[in-house]
Structure 1
């Protein structure tokens, strides 16, 4: 991998980060801790297989997950971490057939998931027009993350993830400011408003048709918010809780750092405009 990415190669890299369950040994169905809630019908400790996981590593109720109380399963997306752990780190060895590696597999998976999450954010950042210095710094971070994903299981488990997150977070903040300020310059002054809404509590808030372009909504609570037909271009969504938000008809085409899991947790329709790396959820209305 080169030290530098242009916008096209970075965009392709981001779009390649998708889970392929056929190449994974059901790791999300075993390694993760699940607490009974509106998203999950059962309690399940980390390391214990979900009762719906079949011997072939497919879900027995995959087509009925939402109806049977497993909505959270339809939201989750590992971005490809599962197949990386299954096929590369453990060289295609199944934890069922090799129980001696099971505990280590389940410890590695959450680490790999975090590395893939960071790669997704950094590669997306690189897909935007940036200064050469910022592009260089982000490229070096992406190269380092990609290298970390190829480490052996012992080294992966020992990684200090926080050490890698901190410099990346600073670069993502710079990227967000750069892109949002450029967009803000194109917005008529009469439409300008408060842009720093980080961590705001907008649960259930009526925002239908609102122009929210270039707003910083990092860590915002948007649970069940009405965002129908809202203009959300250039909005920074890192860490925002979008569960049950209505984004029908909303323009999210250039939203910043929006993830598949965030979108999977929302309600939308065919008129909702999404970034190229986001797939339209199957449960959305037409």
Structure 2
């Protein structure tokens, strides 16, 4: 495949630091607020609001360097998009749930709400970097500002917030940005993609054999790609928002300009040194294991 193909209509904006997890500035919220069940990803059951027994008094994980070996693979996949430090440092002003035990249960409920808002901020920031989405840049910027304002609400207001309704508003803009960008890329391609299957939202592609597939500009929004073989596939300008990448083989795949790809998805997949990722994402260390 030619390396001179034009993807100039795509350029993801670098997300600000507040959308990247900073565990040093967090009160171990993902380790306390979220539930998990014994499985291939977790070695034990834990209820929501129950601190993991590996969480230390300084809010650091006692087995951080051995998570995968000790049965906590899920912890190495999770990403909060910076919601942890926002709740810890801003929403609660740096007062942790050890210092104020009466805030613990509320703080643990606020965290998942903030995580959803920060995920939306990640997507909106990315879409604002796409020149082809220019016709709706103003609307995207307004929605970004509105979402940022929501992250500054009080704990009580955050818990009353209808996040689902807000997500629906944001999704309409993200879908339009995706359509504009993918259509622009299609027009600019010097070699047009071969006739491609039309994948509907939430497509069941569990275990699918898509090795080396030309998936440029396709929509895989919400697709179940669990354990699918996408090795060597071309996913440039493919819309991957919400796609389930658990154990997906992306060794040698080109995701360098995939749309709405997150670190959370990359962490869940199986890749290697030949996997091409967007500059804003990093290859997880466990890919080298």
TM (norm. structure 1) is 0.93
Per-residue CA deviations over 1:200-257 (Å, capped at 9, x if unaligned) read 2222222111111011111111111111111110111111111101111111011011
Taking the aligned partners of 2:10 and 2:190, their CA distance within structure 1 comes to 26
Corresponding residue number in structure 2 for 1:206: 209
CA distance 1:14–1:171, shift in 2 (3 Å): farther
Corresponding residue number in structure 2 for 1:192: 195
Equivalences for residues 223-234 of structure 1 within 5 A: 223-234=226-237
Equivalences for residues 136-215 of structure 1 within 5 A: 136-185=138-187, 186=189, 188=191, 191-215=194-218
Per-residue CA deviations over 1:116-168 (Å, capped at 9, x if unaligned) read 01101111111111354410111000001111111111111111112211111
Equivalences for residues 42-191 of structure 1 within 5 A: 42-185=44-187, 186=189, 188=191, 191=194
Corresponding residue number in structure 1 for 2:4: none
1:19 aligns with one of 18, 21, 43: 21
Q: CA RMSD in A?
A: 2.0
Matched, 1:278 2:281: yes
Taking the aligned partners of 1:232 and 1:10, their CA distance within structure 2 comes to 15
Q: Is the 8 A contact 1:33 1:46 kept in 2?
A: yes
Taking the aligned partners of 2:178 and 2:288, their CA distance within structure 1 comes to 31
For structure 1, which runs of at least 5 residues remain unmatched after alignment? 1-6
Q: Secondary structure at the match of 2:19?
A: coil
Matched, 1:237 2:240: yes
Shift of 1:36: 1.5
What is the count of residue pairs matched by the alignment? Answer: 280
For structure 2, which runs of at least 5 residues remain unmatched after alignment? 1-8
Shift of 1:170: 0.7
Taking the aligned partners of 1:90 and 1:229, their CA distance within structure 2 comes to 46
Taking the aligned partners of 1:99 and 1:214, their CA distance within structure 2 comes to 49
CA distance 1:190–1:89, shift in 2 (3 Å): closer
CA distance 1:208–1:25, shift in 2 (3 Å): same
Q: Is the 8 A contact 1:197 1:215 kept in 2?
A: no
Taking the aligned partners of 1:118 and 1:14, their CA distance within structure 2 comes to 13
Q: Secondary structure at the match of 1:147?
A: helix
Corresponding residue number in structure 1 for 2:256: 253
Taking the aligned partners of 1:37 and 1:27, their CA distance within structure 2 comes to 21
TM (norm. structure 2) is 0.92
Q: Is the 8 A contact 2:10 2:257 kept in 1?
A: no
